[in-house]
Structure 1
């Protein structure tokens, strides 16, 4: 029998025992969001209307794909705000107002087209669901969708917590993520 010598892994090689991913840096949080799997919102609007939204990225997608998808989904508003801010600040200082407006339109459409090609709906299939509850509303279907929204968000945030504590592995976390991703699709088609 041959005696086997235990070898140490080379530095920089990810080991299976390192199960919890590193926390994102402060500067990457606006691009990546609070959760790797997506995001959720709950707001109360005028007249007591409650709005709930859940967005789930495809499991297994890379960080770069998720960042591009967030940029693509937020570009219409963000790009318009940045463009208007640039028009206000530059105004007549850089060029005539017509030239500044033309540059803004070309940049807005160009960046939008680039984001569409890099991260549009074909590349990253983001699934989302929205629920709106009216005060004193008796819409049973929306109440059912709200219950499903609560279940899915609770399931995903609990999976994040358990992964951070080491209670589940990355594979188990991704399995829960897949289940939520598939359930959002099923809810959208009901």
Structure 2
């Protein structure tokens, strides 16, 4: 049986859909679409990937925790005490997750592309072509692994290639 079907649901949720990271497409107002590719350091454990995802989502879940604590504690303890406790939990949880990801957090590679409908921007078009190529390679590697065409070692090699190319891409733009 596949590892992804035997793990508990909460672990699958926290580990995400891709072992290599994430791909986000965000259409916004006025015809602007943002694309974001996040690639974790290849070879890290599932626990490290999960912690990185928790760290990257800290502003959202941390603020939700803060607000829930405020709602629950204000009637019981008063506004000032509730604020202190909520802020301490919010910042403390962030500090703990930050410390737990210290070894791998700096090695995460991120690439962003922005496209604007109706505007011809050669630099943005070039960046999007590069972004699309890298994202396509990662998704294709996942499909080939799921179909049994390649082994996990070959999949990781493909992720390493994209990971290294992302580093080269940021060096050439700087």
- What's the TM-score once normalised by structure 1's chain length? 0.82
Q: CA deviation at 1:35?
A: 0.6
The equivalent of 1:158 in structure 2 is 140
Distance 1:155 1:62, change over 3 A: same
Larger RCO (CA under 8 A, 6+ residues apart): 1
CA-based RMSD of the aligned residues comes to: 1.7
CA-CA distance at 1:60 after TM superposition: 0.3
Number of the residue aligned with 1:11: none
Tell me by how many angstroms 1:139 deviates: 1.9
1:85 maps to 68
> For 1:58, what is the secondary structure of its paired residue?
coil
Counterparts of 1:105-120 in structure 2 under 5 Å?
A: 105-120=87-102
> Which blocks of at least 5 consecutive residues in structure 1 are unaligned?
1-17
**1:1-190 equivalent positions in 2, closer than 5 A:** 21-23=3-5, 24-93=7-76, 95-120=77-102, 122-124=103-105, 125-189=107-171, 190=173
Q: TM-score, normalised by structure 2?
A: 0.90
**Structure 1 or 2: more helix by fraction:** 2
Count of residues in correspondence between the two structures: 170
Change (3 A) 1:101 1:149: same
Runs of 4+ in 1 over 6 A off after TM superposition: none
3-state SS, counterpart of residue 50 of structure 1: strand
After TM superposition, give the deviation of residue 21 of structure 1 in Å: 4.4
* TM-superposition CA deviations, 1:59-92 (whole Å, max 9, x none): 1000111111111111122201221122123321
* Native 8 Å contact 1:145 1:187 kept in 2: no
In the alignment, the residues of structure 1 paired with residue 10 and residue 26 of structure 2 have an alpha-carbon distance, to the nearest angstrom, of: 25
Q: What 5-or-longer segments of structure 2 have no aligned partner?
A: none
Q: Which has the larger radius of gyration?
A: 1
